[in-house]
Amino acid sequence: MDLKKEWMKLTKEKLINLIKQLISSNNNSDDYLFTKYEIKDSEFSFTNETNKYFNTPDMQSFINLLNNYNSNMKESDNYTDEENKEIDKFLCKLSEKDFFKYICTEISTEIDIFRKFIRDNLFNLTSVGKNNNTCAFEHIFLGEFKDDNEKGFHNWIQFYSNKDLIKNFNLINQIKFDKLSIVDFGMIYDGKTKPRCSMIFGIHPMIEICIYTLIYIYAYSNGHKELKFDFDDSIGFQLYTVNNGESFRTCYPFIKKTPPNNLPPNNLPPNNLPPNNLPPNNLPPNNLPPNNLPPNNLPPNNLPSNNTKQVKNELETKLAETELKLAETELKLTKTKTKLAETELKLTKTETKLAETELKLTKTKTKLTEIKLILF
């Protein structure tokens, strides 16, 4: 079956409606978790109990997938037989859900076909450019790293599970998404820099997989290799593919609203310039002849007034861009400080080794002296 032709009927309006239905299913589920969190002094912390949520059979089948990958992009991933069984078990549980069956009805496909499409496009390993075997699921839900840079990482459960490895949390923006929250931030994760990251807090991963898969289907069926999808006036989703559009790479939410002004107050020093001591104006009085020009008979100005709203929006956009650049600069500064601390640590270790070597040398000289005394 040519899925590209089969799913051409998935319009933007239908896609938006399907996403709304999925979010509603998420929030009305018995497994729904209303995530509560606080951000203080560049630290992010959850403030409500989550053990019951993570101990459900569905969530456990998802969590079992999170240790099946090598996040180093310079090394290849390969599934064992056991890991393939874990993926199939998770997808079987997913395909039993009412919302999954609802999607299949709406896009006129069979449950087995849609499940296989997710298996092939999110979990099948493929090469990405010069990088070794990887997959969309790993990139989106776990994250990957290359050198000192973190890539992907758009899932809040992975964020929660590894919260102790997250440093220098820098909030850029956040917004309510029904009962959920979309958070846009920068961070250092396990020593790797991620200047910009966004994810939906509180969403069930089965729902999230279906949303991102539907957006990929919409992009794929309409010939888009990348897609900036506007969901409403406040949020959207960004999707990218690789291998000439044939391989799903990533999808994540973004916030369209201008973030609040978090710039620090003006702490410039007071004006200590000397007073104006210029000499008084001794120019002669104005003796120009009177103005005998005819009166202005030009027609009144009927031009439209300046569009202040547009000017305001442009200023807010520039302000947001400035704040984003400031946040990125702060992250770079933090990274530089981290490298400096590592260099200082290496220097300390080197000095310690040097001191140990000198001590050994001193002991050797002492022994040599003792030997000389014995011999002579």
250 closest CA partner among 129, 118, 138 = 138
d(CA 43, CA 190): 14
pLDDT of 91 reads: 98
pLDDT of 269 reads: 44
Burial call 228-243: b when 16+ CB within 10 Å, e when fewer: ebebeeebebbbbbbe
d(CA 197, CA 183): 8
Give domain limits for the chain.
3-255, 314-376
- Enter the pTM of the model: 0.68
> How far are the Cα atoms of 173, 284, 306 from residue 331, in angstroms, in the given order?
16, 61, 39
**What does the pLDDT profile of the chain (376 residues) look like in tens digits?**
455 556 667 899 999 999 999 999 888 776 666 667 777 767 788 777 666 778 889 999 999 999 999 999 888 899 999 999 999 999 999 999 999 999 999 998 999 999 999 999 999 998 887 666 899 999 999 999 988 999 999 999 999 899 899 999 999 999 988 888 999 999 999 999 999 999 999 899 999 999 999 999 999 888 899 999 999 999 999 999 998 888 899 999 999 965 444 434 444 344 444 455 545 555 455 555 555 555 555 455 454 444 565 666 567 667 666 766 776 677 677 677 767 767 777 877 877 788 787 788 878 777 776 666 665 5
Q: What is the largest CA-CA distance in the chain?
A: 123
d(CA 274, CA 358): 61
pLDDT of 58 reads: 92
Q: How far is CA 91 from the centre of its chain?
A: 26
d(CA 182, CA 255): 8
- What are the helix and strand counts (H, E) for the chain? 11, 12
DSSP 185-249: EEEEETTEEEEEEEEEET--HHHHHHHHHHHHHHHHHTT-SEEEEE-SSSEEEEEEEETTTTEEE
Amino acid letter, 302: N
pLDDT of 70 reads: 92
Task: Read off the tokens for 18.
Answer: 């399907």
Task: Read off the tokens for 30.
Answer: 């018995």
pLDDT of 217 reads: 93
d(CA 217, CA 226): 12
